[in-house]
A and B are shown apart, each in its own frame.
Chain A
Amino acid sequence: MSSALEVRDLKASIGDLEILTGLDLVVPFGEVHAIMGPNGSGKSTLSHVLMGNPVYEASGSATIGGVEIMDMTVDERARAGLFEAFQYPTEVPGVTLDDLTEEMAISTPSDDGFEQRTVAASERLGMERFRERAVNVNLSGGEKKRSEMYLLGVANPKVAILDEIDSGLDIDAVREVADMVESLRGPGLGIVVITHYSRILRYMSADRIHVMVGGRVVRSGGPEIAEELEADGYTAYQVAAAG
């Protein structure tokens, strides 16, 4: 069976700035992987390039459940089963969450589960009072992350990339987000948790951890990597990458 996500030799640049420099990553269905790396190592760029953000010039291959997505538009990738939870979710003034989820359902007529998932995710995450409010407008950091997790629940993707879903949150909120990620784990989904700090990994279990430095994965391994990074930081990797 093919993996949820398979990335081969992914490169991306903006003008002369090379940000991703040949990245490989495989995430099987049912697993949760963490990508850890210092600021500026290209983590958000990876999620945007996979999503198809036209700002970046990209090459290489990425497949979702075996289907190549690099030649697809942003919306086609979403409908192919990719979901990006944004580090900085965009405000959409005047458009409510309900307006958005309604349009999501209309965009994917072959999937008749939207209404049911909307109700379920709304209940699970306590979103009732946010659904009539404008998307990401005047929300706290934690509320924005919750809203992203809600949309993930509605979209029901094959691959979810959660970019810094833990940043800017207090410890209780981090624990809550970790629980949400754990509850998403399932045989039809591969999850990538992008994080700068190992903090969130104390409250959830990652099957594999990838260290990203200088636009590529420089080391992959088990949960022990998080402990190492907590003790030693990224310096050794950065020196090696620069060397």
Chain B
Amino acid sequence: MTDTPTLGSTDAVWMASRRSAAVERLDDLSMPSEREEIWRYLDLDFDPAFRTAPLTAGSAGSTDAVLEMWHGNTVSVVDGFVVTEGVPTIAEASDEIALVNDDHMFATAFTAYAPGAALLTGDHLGKPLLVDVQNTSDATTFPGVHIAVPRGTEATVIVRLRSTTDAPATVVPTVTADVSDNARLTLTIIQDWNYNTRSLGRAVIELGRDATLVLAEIGLGAKIGRLHLDVNFVGNGSTAKIYGAYFGEDDQTLDYRYFMNHIGMHTRSDMFLKGAVEDEALSVFTGMIRIEETGQKTEAFQTNRNLILSSGASAQSVPNLEILANDVMCGHGSTVGPLDEDQRYYLMSRGLTPESADRLQVRGFFEEVVQQIPDEAIAAWIRERINGKYVAAQEEGRV
């Protein structure tokens, strides 16, 4: 392990000025209003306690199921600090890396208080990489990961967000990626915070010419689990498949704001998210396909399917289009509803109890997404986690 890092001490010149501008700007910003569309469904009545951001990493949690089955490389980020030796941060990088430029409190606080996102480049991406992001206390933290995939190469990265305690915390996890020309990034984000955590997540991914992104986000944990994603199709011929699977229970809010920004020609995006909610949970999917005048020949699709498993649970599903080009192809589909009666009847006619029939149906529902996860052992673990939540809900009579 390296010497314990402290905030800002290793900033490059550009970062130091960016950080101090953000600290200043933060004085003028307050909690965003739920009246603004982008924050609409979140309960923002809490103290973000930015000034509790730790100055050093807490002691890392023990290894766990996912780490134990992982055979690739691992990078650890604890309480926002990169603690794996030999992994630099973007704050130290000589050239500016700044893909997030939102002017609101959480993003600005990230710039002001994040020690520096782990900078993953060709050196680290030779084989599949697991980024183990841990929160160890109730402090507000700013973990970041930046992935730079060099021209013509392929990278597989799994980002796992987890809490090592039950402490309530606010966290602003930020994942950015720059996928160069002809490069390919397979990125999986597993959001597995404890149920007391408010996670205001942000992701921005930029695609070069003929670059490919396969992104899957699995939403398991958090009290507020938000992910605001922008994919910028800058290069001609860039493509992205965006998968999502989320299972909400308790009073969780899982809030996905996905923006596909088609700038280059012949670009293609395909969003495919599936979720289930039970108990008092709420899920939100707001998809936006935005095609600029320059984005001719773009094909863009968005699909969001939701299962409502309890009467107190609900799902909002809002696909949007903003098209400035005239030669494009777009499609969208969105459904919100209960388990399928015909499937239940068919499975029961084969001798399955209603409980087994529904369990199988729920598992099948998520399978199209779970099978996209680039590691079979982790995919099996996710299947088990979702299944476990559903079985617990059955046993406790919530579904």
Contact = CB atoms under 8 A, between A and B. Distances in A.
Interface of A: 51, 53-54, 73-75, 77-79, 83-84, 86, 89-95, 99-100, 103-104, 106-108, 134, 151, 155
18 contacts: A51-B345, A78-B349, A78-B351, A79-B351, A89-B346, A90-B343, A92-B347, A92-B361, A92-B364, A93-B368, A94-B363, A94-B366, A94-B367, A95-B361, A95-B363, A103-B350, A103-B356, A103-B360
B366 A75 contact: no
A161 to B, nearest CB: 10
A99 B360 contact: yes
B322 interface: no
Contacts of A93: 364-365, 367-368
Contact of A84 (B349, B356, B361): B349
A74 B348 contact: yes
Contacts of A84: 349
Contact of A151 (B348, B350, B360, B364): B350
A86 B347 CA distance: 12
A100 B317 CA distance: 31
Interface in B174-194: none
A82 B114 CA distance: 64
B364 A94 contact: yes
B359 to A, nearest CB: 8
Contacts of B354: 73, 75
Contacts, number: 77
Listed from nearest, the 9 A-B pairs whose CB atoms lie closest are A94-B364, A94-B367, A90-B346, A95-B364, A78-B351, A74-B348, A75-B348, A107-B351, A90-B342
Interface in B329-384: 342-343, 345-354, 356-357, 360-361, 363-368
B326 to A, nearest CB: 35
A155 B351 CA distance: 8
Contacts of A90: 342-343, 345-346
B154 to A, nearest CB: 27
B350 A104 contact: yes
A54 B342 CA distance: 11
Contacts of B367: 93-95
Contacts of A91: 343
Contacts of B345: 51, 53-54, 74, 90
A51 B349 contact: yes
A93 B360 CA distance: 10
A151 B349 CA distance: 11
Counting chain A CB atoms within 10 Å of each CB, which of B348, B350, B353, B367 scores highest? B350
Categorize the interface residue count of chain B.
Answer: 20 to 34
A155 B364 contact: no
A187 to B, nearest CB: 22
Contacts of B357: 75
A29 B247 CA distance: 48
Contacts of B353: 75, 107
- Where chain B touches its partner, the secondary structure class is helix
A90 B348 CA distance: 12
B352 to A, nearest CB: 5
Of A107, A134, A155, the most chain B CB neighbours within 10 A belong to A107
A99 B346 CA distance: 14
Nearest to A75: B348
A129 B320 CA distance: 41
Nearest to A81: B351
A51 B253 CA distance: 40
A75 B353 CA distance: 6
Given A73-B348, A94-B366, A107 B356 contact: yes
Given A74-B345, A89-B346, A90-B346, A95 B360 contact: yes
Given A78-B349, A106-B356, 4 more contacts: A75-B351, A93-B364, A94-B364, A134-B364
Contacts of B368: 93-94
A151 B348 CA distance: 13
Nearest to A95: B364
A83 B350 CA distance: 7
Best-buried of B348, B351, B353, B360 by chain A (most CB within 10 Å):
B351
A117 B51 CA distance: 66
Contacts of B342: 90
B349 A74 contact: yes
A53 B346 CA distance: 9
A73 B348 CA distance: 9
Contacts of B364: 92-95, 99, 134
B352 A107 contact: yes
Interface string B168-211: 00000000000000000000000000000000000000000000
Contacts of B363: 94-95, 99
Nearest to A90: B346
A103 B364 CA distance: 13
B351 A108 contact: yes
Nearest to A54: B345
Given A92-B360, A92-B361, A93-B368, A75 B352 contact: yes
Contacts of A73: 348, 354
A106 B357 CA distance: 12
Nearest to A157: B351
A104 B352 contact: yes
A73 B352 CA distance: 11
A91 B346 CA distance: 9
Contacts of A107: 351-353, 356
Query: Chain B CB within 10 Å — which of A90, A94, A106 has the most?
Result: A94
B349 A100 contact: no
A43 B350 CA distance: 20
Nearest to A74: B348
B346 A155 contact: no
A103 B348 CA distance: 10
A173 B351 CA distance: 28
Q: Which of A74, A77, A151 has the largest count of B CB atoms less than 10 A from its CB?
A: A74
A106 B351 CA distance: 9
